[in-house]
A and B are shown apart, each in its own frame.
Chain A
């Protein structure tokens, strides 16, 4: 039997305490597994280059939120005392801050638990409200999983959904969109900035097109809000989803913009006491809403500076990698994109192996919500990428807090590892010898 001090050092004090507290051995096992996967305390943390998955919270946002966690903790719907009134005024201020970011009226903003919920509310809500006369919804093949899943749920309820294909640069074809309109179309849902390849869709043109046909236009602006200038009236947007943790705000909060003139009606998903205009019942989480508001305000003020800086860093990264390596393809339109999201395919190198080789840089191949599956990204398939290139793609995310040193380090490491992996690759050898890989007939063993 080990002595207590030795056991503590070996297993970590947490595990020892759990034994001391008499927790089951299963809990102790779980602790051990978690701690073995966590990094060593002495190892430096990886560079964060995955700003599309989530963003660190801006310290100014945290400053804004803290008082509402511990001091001003009232329920904003309590009408009868000062705790409620001060929470309510904080929530209303946050609402105004979110509205100002997108050019909306504060009464048109509804707080939700995130962009996924906002997308669900928009698509299912509008679809079901107008279902007696209109049963057709149009979306694209490159949408976020929650949009596609909501559409699938509507299909199960008897709707017809058109999943528009995209051009090879990732943008939707306006002609095709117009042709897919039907007299019974109620909603078009097209995201503003794609989370995997970073392309910016022609939202203004789509909005005007939809308005001319009296069809509601929803856009998932989770990756776009606070990063590119948006105006719901200029772009004729009827519904928009915003996510808190993509704009340096807290996780677990988002917003949906629902136009009031002309009125967009929704069937609410969440029933309850009628908060948030009856569209999303439930106590509004004051600290999270305040955080989202503060994040939106900061984003609005610093948008120009951030955009300039991020595009400078992005250019730096792309130029360095493209200069250092042959056969690197950027997925998505090179012009109409958000510069902070770069999706590169390194030919003849497997994406997952490159990620593991770049162990001290936090990157992803494809979006976070699909990273667990073995299939390559459906977005890359939709833009017509070859399957082998789709497996070799890496997404670099640059944000407000990325430094030039991080970008330089990432580029250099990437070049090094790709070269190393290509040395090991038989496909690369064959290409060097001049063999056309497409002409090879692979046999089964």
Chain B
């Protein structure tokens, strides 16, 4: 029940991102999204219970102003080279942001620093702006194939305003590489 309610919260958040919708239309959209949840995964963004339902109740104009400040534009470059611009928010986790937008960033251990499947290359300009990796993150990165100097684990990157315009390139393979082209579904 908890999960479902948090899922709903997230759905509402996704919906509330869409501007210029009346509240009634939003609720309808909400329901529509819930049905198609099986395709686009709705994730629990973080482990602690947090209510962002306030967004739904706030004034539309006020919400827009807040949204403008919070928005961090990042670009994902997936394995085929396709660029996918994404509007994230400050505090978003790069891994779950990717999942929300259907990008194939595998997070096998669900952001618990136990694998290297969410390995991404960070654009050089922004690489130094990220905080130093934790020792455990470095350990997991050691095991990622095709490591480069600008490699980081996606699940440990939290968006901040200074990461505006960051490009996250997915490496060609992860530890779970399947030579038959199979891609595992995000958890």
Of the candidates B135, B147, B148, the one whose C-beta lies within 8 Å of that of A261 is: B135
Q: Write out, one digit per residue, whether chain A residues 83-120 have a CB within 8 A of any chain B CB (1) or not (0).
A: 00000000000000000000000010000000000000
Of the candidates B138, B143, B149, the one whose C-beta lies within 8 Å of that of A129 is: B149
- State whether B149 touches A278 (Cβ < 8 A): no
Which residues of chain B from 8 to 64 have any CB-CB distance to chain A below 8 Å in the complex? none
Q: Is the interface of A mostly helix, strand, loop or mixed?
A: loop
Docked pose: A392 CA to B144 CA in angstroms: 52
Docked pose: A263 CA to B149 CA in angstroms: 11
Q: With an 8 A cutoff between CB atoms, is B175 at the interface?
A: yes
- State whether B143 touches A260 (Cβ < 8 A): no
Contacts of A263 in B (CB 8 A): 138, 142
- State whether B135 touches A278 (Cβ < 8 A): no
Contacts of A261 in B (CB 8 A): 135
- State whether A274 touches B175 (Cβ < 8 A): yes
Of the candidates A260, A265, A274, A277, the one whose C-beta lies within 8 Å of that of B149 is: A265
Q: Write out, one digit per residue, whether chain B residues 115-135 have a CB within 8 A of any chain A CB (1) or not (0).
A: 000000000000000000001
Which residue of chain B has the shortest Cβ distance to A277 in the bound complex? B142
Contacts of A278 in B (CB 8 A): 142-145
Which residues of chain B from 144 to 166 have any CB-CB distance to chain A below 8 Å in the complex? 144-145, 147-149
Which residues of chain A from 332 to 383 have any CB-CB distance to chain B below 8 Å in the complex? none
Contacts of A129 in B (CB 8 A): 147-149
Contacts of A247 in B (CB 8 A): none
Q: With an 8 A cutoff between CB atoms, is A279 at the interface?
A: yes
- State whether B135 touches A265 (Cβ < 8 A): no
- State whether B147 touches A265 (Cβ < 8 A): yes
Q: With an 8 A cutoff between CB atoms, is A267 at the interface?
A: yes
Q: With an 8 A cutoff between CB atoms, is A132 at the interface?
A: yes
Q: With an 8 A cutoff between CB atoms, is A130 at the interface?
A: yes
- State whether B138 touches A277 (Cβ < 8 A): no
Docked pose: A290 CA to B175 CA in angstroms: 29
Of the candidates B135, B144, B145, the one whose C-beta lies within 8 Å of that of A260 is: B135
Q: Write out, one digit per residue, whether chain A residues 128-142 have a CB within 8 A of any chain B CB (1) or not (0).
A: 011011000000000
Contacts of A271 in B (CB 8 A): 145
- State whether B149 touches A132 (Cβ < 8 A): yes
Q: State the Cβ distance, B57 to closest chain A Cβ, in Å.
A: 46
Q: State the Cβ distance, B128 to closest chain A Cβ, in Å.
A: 13
Docked pose: A260 CA to B136 CA in angstroms: 11
Q: State the Cβ distance, B156 to closest chain A Cβ, in Å.
A: 15
Which residues of chain A from 206 to 261 have any CB-CB distance to chain B below 8 Å in the complex? 260-261
Docked pose: A159 CA to B143 CA in angstroms: 26
Known: A260-B135, A260-B138. A277 touches B147 (CB 8 A): no
- State whether A130 touches B149 (Cβ < 8 A): yes
Q: State the Cβ distance, A435 to closest chain B Cβ, in Å.
A: 64
Which residue of chain B has the shortest Cβ distance to A261 in the bound complex? B135
- State whether A274 touches B143 (Cβ < 8 A): yes
Docked pose: A296 CA to B144 CA in angstroms: 31
Which residue of chain A has the shortest Cβ distance to B147 in the bound complex? A265
- State whether B135 touches A277 (Cβ < 8 A): no
Docked pose: A278 CA to B145 CA in angstroms: 8
Sample of 11 further A-B pairs with CB below 8 A, known A132-B149, A279-B142: A129-B147, A130-B149, A133-B149, A260-B138, A263-B138, A263-B142, A267-B147, A271-B145, A274-B175, A277-B139, A278-B145
Instruction: Kindly list the 7 A-B residue pairs having the minimum CB-CB distance in the complex, ordered from nearest.
Output: A278-B143, A277-B142, A263-B138, A274-B143, A278-B142, A265-B147, A130-B149
Listed in ascending order, the chain B residues whose CB lies under 8 Å from chain A are 135, 138-139, 142-145, 147-149, 175
Some 24 contacts from A to B, beta carbons below 8 A apart, are A107-B139, A129-B147, A129-B148, A129-B149, A130-B149, A132-B148, A132-B149, A260-B135, A260-B138, A261-B135, A263-B138, A263-B142, A265-B142, A265-B147, A265-B149, A267-B147, A271-B145, A274-B143, A274-B175, A277-B142, A277-B143, A278-B144, A278-B145, A279-B142
